[in-house]
């Protein structure tokens, strides 16, 4: 009963390095999301996807890229890491946005520090 | 520009009493709201939701009230228990889910 799995749990990057945050879900959910949580700032939506091959920008997409080649996986790419990207990143999925009984299921987060 | 505002960063409530968490929104077209709860080092978990066709939804100790004319919703927890100490986020849903900044609830023994 894995749900939404995020790897790694922690990562320290140097400025300018790149990395991919992995997210996979085993619930056959169509919708997937990436959020970041900064202290005192709530959860900000970075990118989301309504199905394989479809992605869209959220509130704070700059500096990130995503892809959705399969239903299960939704990786988030940082190409040139900056200190402003130090945050906790959460991946989430849901079956349907129209179905009001389909809440978001979140992973446990990736804590990223850029120095 | 916040579309969902939680103006109280933190709230302390005695165990056994009622906890009331508030949330204001800006767009009267929003028609579905959710509350999530988050413990440290874990992802948020869904708590309760409400559609704009209702003004109240109840699930056990948790009740959400929606006042559409005031563009305000609130989450009531009664009685409050130590395990309720967490950060609570309100959110609205259209083609995506947008969250407020959260309120940290402390339940005092």
CA distance B37 to chain A (A): 11
CA distance B99 to chain A (A): 6
What was the pLDDT predicted at A1? 66
Tell me whether residues B97 and A104 touch, CB distance under 8 A.
yes
pLDDT in tens, A42-101: 899 999 999 999 999 999 999 999 999 999 999 999 999 999 999 999 999 998 766 556
Average pLDDT in the B12-40 region? 94
Compute the distance between CA of residue B80 and CA of residue B109 in angstroms, rounded to an integer.
10
Nearest to B102 by CA among A22, A110, A90, A61: A90
Tell me whether residues B41 and A40 touch, CB distance under 8 A.
no
pLDDT in tens, A17-57: 999 999 999 999 999 999 999 977 789 999 999 999 999 99
B6 conformational bin, left if phi > 0, alpha if psi -120 to 50, beta if neither: beta
For chain B, which residues lie within 8 Å of any Cβ of chain A, measuring from their own Cβ? 6, 9, 32, 34, 36, 41-46, 49, 51, 89, 93, 95-102
pLDDT in tens, B64-108: 999 999 999 999 999 999 999 999 999 998 778 889 999 999 999
Tell me whether residues B51 and A43 touch, CB distance under 8 A.
no
What was the pLDDT predicted at A103? 81
Contact residues, chain B, for A107 at CB < 8 Å: 43
C-alpha atoms less than 13 angstroms from C-alpha of B55 in its C-beta half-sphere: 5
How many inter-chain contacts (A to B, CB under 8 Å) are there?
Answer: 53
């Amino acid at each position: 009963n894995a749900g939404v799995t995020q790897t790694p749990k922690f990562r320290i990057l140097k400025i300018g390095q790149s990395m991919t945050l992995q997210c996979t879900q085993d619930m056959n959910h169509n919708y997937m999301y990436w959020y970041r949580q900064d202290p005192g700032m709530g959860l900000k939506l970075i990118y989301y996807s309504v199905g394989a091959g479809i992605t869209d920008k959220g509130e704070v997409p700059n500096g990130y890229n995503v892809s959705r080649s399969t239903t299960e996986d939704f990786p988030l790419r940082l190409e040139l890491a900056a200190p402003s990207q130090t945050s906790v990143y959460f991946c989430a999925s849901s079956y349907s946005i129209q179905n009001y009984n389909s809440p978001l299921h979140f992973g446990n987060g990736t804590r990223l520090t850029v120095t | 520009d916040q579309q969902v505002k939680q103006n109280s960063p933190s709230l302390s409530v005695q165990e056994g009493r009622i906890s009331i968490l508030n949330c204001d929104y800006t767009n009267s077209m929003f028609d579905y709201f959710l509350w999530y709860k988050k413990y440290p080092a874990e992802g948020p978990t869904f708590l309760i939701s409400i559609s704009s066709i209702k003004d109240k939804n109840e699930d056990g100790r948790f009740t959400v009230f929606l006042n559409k004319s005031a563009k305000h919703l609130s989450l009531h927890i009664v009685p409050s228990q130590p395990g309720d100490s967490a950060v609570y986020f309100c959110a609205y849903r259209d083609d995506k889910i947008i969250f407020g900044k959260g309120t940290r609830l402390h339940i005092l023994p």
